[in-house]
Structures are given as structure tokens and as C-alpha cells.
Amino acid sequence: MSHPVAAPLIELKNVRFGYGERVVLDGLDLSVPRGQILAVMGGSGNGKTSLLGLLGGRNVAWAGSVHVDGQDVGRLNGPGLYALRRRMGMLFQFGALFTDLSVFDNIAFPYREQTNLPEPVIRDLVLMKLEAVGLRGAAQSMPSQLSGGMARRVALARAIALDPMLMLYDEPFTGLDPISAGIIGRLIRRLNDAFGMTSLIVTHDVNETLRIADRIVLVSDGRIVRDMTPAEVRVSDDIFIRQFADGLPDGPVPFHYPAPAYGRQLLGGASGSGGADA
């Protein structure tokens, strides 16, 4: 490999990004060493999915730099970007399985599109990946026949098909029962270690995160505000951490979306009262 093992796989420096007028990330610094599982936590709308988009090259930073395996993601052209993405896997929030293909064909998809392997070899590889997520028996099912947890595992098998160096997970536990979430969590840890990957998990599931992550960072106001290990999180009395870990409704992260003064709006003075003033 051209980079020393010590060089971090992911390196974001002073990243600024948003949509239209709206700034979502501002002054974000983050570095992830190889082999680690990093959990990115933060409330909804804090730009966690946008951050994954920056790493995958689907979003381009307004300022600052995004490096993955030494490559400046924002500067890559089409083929260069696709070459990098072939070494990345991404698990989308709801799996994003191809609904017109069977489980088997979903996992065969990356092999058929990206390699010239003969069909019998592809078959063995697909069955191996399915076995790794415990769903070899579901190969002939259609995605619509799977439970949420199973669909997520199939999507995971598809994401690791080409043995990526980096796995990106967008809220892998959301909408799952605790048992399914536990299964996914253990799979993430096992695959990361077995295949020598690096993983970045965007999540707000504190329990699972504390169990599997090597490091946890907290995003708020567009930047990283805390960076700790699970052990540190458990004993911390930091108000930011406690609000997250204990699920307190209000704290440094406000419960209320910014709004005009309540009393004034009720009395009809302020705008934003919808159709009433039409």
C-alpha cells in the first residue's frame, strides 16, 4: 500500500458544506485511523447524512478538504470517483435494495456490473456473503418479503460484496427492534475486524453505539463538539454527552426549532401563522 499504516483513512479539514443558502456543516475537522469503527452522533438535521455524502463524493464541500485513503474526494473526476467508490460500501438508511431483483440478484449486482467473473463463481461469492449475514436461506426471496432487519442485513451483504476498505452506515439501527439492532451491531463489528475495514456509523442509537464503536464524536452546529471513547462516555458528566446518552429532551441541543416569540404569535402579531393572514 502506498500510504503508511499510520496515515488515517479519512481526513476532513475545516469542511464547510450546505444546501442553497443554508449552511449545514461549518469548520468540521475529523480524522479516522484505519481499522477503527467511528460513530458520529447528533440530532436529526445536523448534517450526518450530508457528511457521508461528502465522503462518498455525492456532495462536494464548499470549503476545506475531504480525503479518503489519501485522495482528495472533491477533486476526483467521474472515473476517479467511481474507482474510489468501488472500494467503499454504503448501507443506506432503509437498505435501498433493488425492489425488482431477488435477494440473490441484489448481491450479485456489484459482481455482475464491476467484474467479469463467470456466473458459477458469482454464485459462490453471493452465497458466501449471504452466509456472513446469516441469510443464505433467503437467497430466492424478493426484498418485499423481508422484515426490516433482514432487508438491512441483505443490503449489508451487498455493500461488502467487493470487500471495501471503508464502510459507511447511515442510521443502521433506526426502525429496528432491539434484537435486530443488536444483530446488525455485532455484524458491523465482526465484518469490520474480519475484513480489515474501517467503518463510519451515523446513528443516534446510544446503546448499540457504546457496545461496538471504538470512538464516538458528537456533531452539533455543523462541527464536532465532543470526541470520546465509549468508556469515557459512560462515566462522563458532560452536559452534551448526558443529554445524548440519557435522551434528555432539552439541554445544549434545544428542543424547540427556532420560532417567533410564542406569546406574540398566539396574539397574531408575528408572521408564520399560515393561512390565517391570507
Partner 1 sequence: MLDLLDRLGAVTLGALARLGLATLFFGAVFARTWRGLKRGALLVREIHFSGVRSLAIILVSGLFVGMVLAVQGYEVLQRFGSADALGSLVALSLVRELGPVVTALLFAGRAGSAVTAEIGLMRATEQLAAMDMMAVDPISRVVVPRFMGALVSLPILAVIFSSAGVIGAYLVGVELIGIDAGAFWSQMRASVDFRLDVLNGLFKALVFGLAVGLISVFEGYHAAPTAEGVSSATTRTVVISSLSVLTLDFILTVLMFRGLN
Ligand X SMILES: Nc1ncnc2c1ncn2[C@@H]1O[C@H](COP(=O)(O)OP(=O)(O)O)[C@@H](O)[C@H]1O
Residue 19 sits in the site that holds partner 1 (CB under 8 A)? no
The span of 62-70, 98-106, 209-217, 242-250 binding partner 1 (CB under 8 A) equals: 98-106
CB 188 within 8 A of CB 197: no
Q: Measured from the CB atom, is 155 or 213 closer to partner 1?
A: 155
The smaller minimum CB distance to Mg ion, of residues 49 and 65, is found at 49
Partner from ligand X, partner 1, Mg ion, none binding residue 62, C-beta < 5-8 Å depending on class:
none
96 contributes a contact to partner 1 by CB under 8 A = yes
Residue with cell 461528502: 54
Tell me the closest approach of the beta carbon of residue 202 to Mg ion, in angstroms: 7
Footprint of ligand X on 38-57 (CB under 6 A): 42, 44-50
**Residue 25, phi then psi, degrees to nearest 5:** -115, 140
Task: Report the Cα 52 to chain-centroid distance in Å.
Answer: 6
- 3-class DSSP state for residue 77? coil
Asked whether the beta carbons of 60 and 76 are under 8 A apart, the reply is: no
223 binds ligand X (CB under 6 A): no
Say whether 114 sits in a helix, a strand or coil.
helix
- How far apart CA 195 and CA 209 sit, in angstroms, is 20
| 49 makes contact with Mg ion (CB under 5 A) | yes
- For residue 262, give every residue at least 6 positions away whose Cβ sits within 8 Å of its Cβ, in sequence order, or none: none
Binding mask 16-35 toward Mg ion (x if CB under 5 A, else -) reads --------------------
Judged by CB under 8 A, the chain residues 40 through 59 that form the site for partner 1 are 56, 58
Query: Which listed option, partner 1, ligand X, Mg ion, none, makes contact with residue 71 (CB within 5 to 8 Å by class)?
Result: none
3-state helix vs strand vs coil in the chain, percent to 5: 40, 20, 40
Contact set with ligand X (CB under 6 A): 19, 24, 42, 44-50
